[in-house]
Structure 1
Amino acid sequence: MIALHQTELTYPGPPPVAALRPCDLTVHRGDFVTVVGPSGSGKSTFLNIVGLLDAPTGGRCLLDGIDTGRLDDPTRSALRGQRIGFVFQAFHLLPHRTALENVQLALVYRRVPRRMRADRARDALQRVGLGHRIHAFPTTLSGGERQRVAIARALVGRPSLLLCDEPTGNLDTATAAQVLDLLEELNAGGVTVVVITHDPEVARRGTRSLRIRDGVLTDAVVTP
């Protein structure tokens, strides 16, 4: 699904900053990959490249065999919308919209016909265990429930790849474990999952773990 070939990103200076140094990586469909590293290590740069938010300044980044670095911005944005769902540490929910309405908004940007939006949003919320809370407002939801709404919003476009940036960063230990359980269930259902984290406990949930430090990406054995 994802193939990086000597992929790198250097921000222009002066002085130039090598945020991601040349790396090779293959993520297969159905993988659950975690990427662990401290703040400033290059995790966000890696996510931005894999998530088609930034183009690499060297090497290639392939998504489903498509060389994304060769695409213009509109084409890359369209590919991102079709195939990638994002989950962030901050939930980014509109407080005066219900859970159902928040999830539906993702379909507006994908230009899904209005008549189909509610049913698809309801299905996504049921998939994350919130079918009974579809009319609740974010202010009445727990942190774990709000993150589940955010995950439903990421899933409603039916992406093949789910990118999660510190998805448990705002949650207590028990709630974080529930969210990670959900990501494992989604992965078992066929969704490819990549989780960016600074937490070794989260990193251990992956079937494969990578470490990034000073822009260098390597395979890792995550120990307690």
Structure 2
Amino acid sequence: MEAEDLPAPVPPAPVLPVPPVIELRRAGLSYPGPPPVDALTGCDLTVGAGEFVTVVGPSGSGKSTFLNIVGLLDVPTSGSYLLDGIDTGALRDADRTALRGRRIGFVFQSFHLLPYRTAVENVRLALLYSAVPRAESYERAREALARVGLDHRLDAVPTRLSGGEQQRVAIARALVSRPLLLLCDEPTGNLDTATAGAILGLLDALHADGMTIVVITHDPLVAARGARTLAIRDGVLTERAPV
């Protein structure tokens, strides 16, 4: 075959940019008065896939408001919030709820486990309103518990679990939907120092696996685990310089 008869090479497909997991554009939240209260003001933030970010600030500074906005529990009253490139302010309430269930996992200071349900049942509850078939939900719950080192405690109820084990079940429950983003609000607040260190080690491992993690904390030792630390004071978010 002559060279001029060869088919022209197919150009490679363009590589599309990956959107940030979190993108806040002058986002704020004000509560009506009188007088009106600016809980969060003009927040600009970009968090890329796989980042581990910690957020610190005194009580009443706006940390909870920040968490509620990023977790799609509240809608900014000014500016915008894009989650994985999706403008969440343009969504209906039902679509926002569905997006939260698919893309975000939550871990709180209190474990919020049902006392008469086993570990695997507590984790499966996170898939109750999803389209995941029952048999698959069990397997996914088992896999999530294995990921946090509790595959040997599937049938234990919370009263038979230590505080650290209960928090691991709560983390497994947050992971079972295979979220894009893990939001943690004081995840070690109810744990002793040694157990807290083990939970932070687990978060480090999840981060090493590529999970995007945002941790709200008042503890400087927890804050230091993040690759980036943000500070909120009087509703204003700033980037804290590394120590």
TM-score, scaled to structure 2: 0.90
The aligned amino acid for 1:83 is: R
Pairing of 1:151-166 with structure 2 (within 5 A): 151-166=171-186
Aligned equivalent of 1:189, options 187, 192, 209: 209
Partner of 1:131: 151
Q: Which runs of 5+ in 2 are unaligned?
A: 1-20
Aligned equivalent of 1:111, options 119, 131, 136: 131
The aligned amino acid for 1:99 is: A
**Do the aligned residues in 1 keep the contact of 2:228 with 2:242 (CA within 8 Å)?**
no
Partner of 1:168: 188
The aligned amino acid for 1:3 is: E
Matched, 1:141 2:161: yes
CA deviation vs aligned residue, 1:80-111 (integer Å, no higher than 9, x gap) = 01100000000000000000100011111223
The aligned amino acid for 2:186 is: E
**Do the aligned residues in 2 keep the contact of 1:203 with 1:222 (CA within 8 Å)?**
no
Which stretches of structure 1, 4 residues or longer, exceed 2 Å deviation after superposition? none
Deviation at 1:115, TM superposition (A): 1.6
SS at match of 1:133: coil
Deviation at 1:147, TM superposition (A): 0.2
TM-score, scaled to structure 1: 0.98
Deviation at 1:210, TM superposition (A): 0.3
Aligned equivalent of 2:66, options 46, 52, 60: 46
Partner of 2:49: 29
Partner of 1:84: 104
Rounded Cα–Cα distance in structure 2 between residues aligned with 1:221 and 1:145: 34
Aligned equivalent of 1:121, options 135, 141, 147: 141
Pairing of 1:88-103 with structure 2 (within 5 A): 88-103=108-123
Q: Which runs of 5+ in 1 are unaligned?
A: none
Deviation at 1:222, TM superposition (A): 6.4
Q: How many residues align?
A: 223
The aligned amino acid for 1:172 is: D
Deviation at 1:69, TM superposition (A): 1.1
Rounded Cα–Cα distance in structure 2 between residues aligned with 1:63 and 1:123: 26
**Do the aligned residues in 2 keep the contact of 1:7 with 1:22 (CA within 8 Å)?**
yes
How much is the aligned-residue C-alpha RMSD, in angstroms?
A: 0.9
